[in-house]
């Protein structure tokens, strides 16, 4: 197998259309009904914590971070993490995750939440959110609701409903 010449860079406003097409191919039309997607509709993602993966000029992956409130604690909602189906299993998702989490920590963020597969995300330090500790604004399998503390104790400070961070905050 040949090595990919992969470039990870900050998401740019001009990437929006290509990322939307990527999400469509990877997740289909049902993506809008998911609880995490509905939560992200309430606030724009942060471009300085969102990254794209390119092979040449082809956008092959994306990860986004959206600010939320977890009870009274500021947090980030990671996702979607998307890789072009033809480029899966080549480390692109992991490279995007590492870059995004590193940027979040460098900018002083303390807690990252996501809905996803624990076996995949555990390697980055994500663990299940304790039952009834935090609630998303819609149904979600509790085994898929995960958190990563970038600062020890951040998850224990967060309790209650997860909601979009108001734009005035």
How much is the average pLDDT of 121-131? 96
> Model's pTM, two decimal places?
0.89
Is residue 32's pLDDT more than 60? no
The residues, any chain, with a CB within 8 Å of residue 138's CB and separated by 6 or more, are 35, 38, 39
Q: What are phi and psi of 28, to 5 degrees?
A: 75, -175
Residue 104 CA to residue 164 CA, distance in Å, equals: 17
Structural domains of the chain, ranges and CATH numbers in brackets: 6-164 (3.40.630.30)
Residue 51 banded pLDDT, cuts 50, 70, 90: very high
């Amino acid at each position: 197998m040949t090595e990919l010449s992969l470039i990870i860079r900050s998401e740019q406003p001009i990437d929006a259309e290509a990322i939307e097409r990527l999400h469509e191919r990877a997740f289909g039309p049902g993506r809008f009904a998911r609880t995490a997607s509905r939560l992200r509709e309430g606030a724009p993602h942060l471009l300085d914590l969102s990254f794209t993966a390119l092979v040449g000029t082809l956008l092959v992956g994306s990860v986004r971070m959206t600010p939320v409130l977890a009870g009274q604690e500021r947090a980030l909602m990671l996702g979607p993490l998307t890789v072009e189906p033809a480029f899966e299993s080549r480390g692109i998702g992991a490279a995007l995750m590492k870059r995004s989490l590193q940027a979040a920590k460098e900018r002083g963020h303390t807690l990252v939440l996501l809905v996803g597969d624990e076996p995949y995300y555990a390697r980055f330090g994500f663990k299940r959110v304790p039952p009834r500790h935090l609630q998303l604004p819609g149904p979600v399998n509790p085994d898929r609701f995960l958190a990563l503390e970038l600062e020890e104790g951040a998850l224990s400070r967060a309790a209650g409903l997860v909601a979009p961070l108001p734009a005035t905050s």
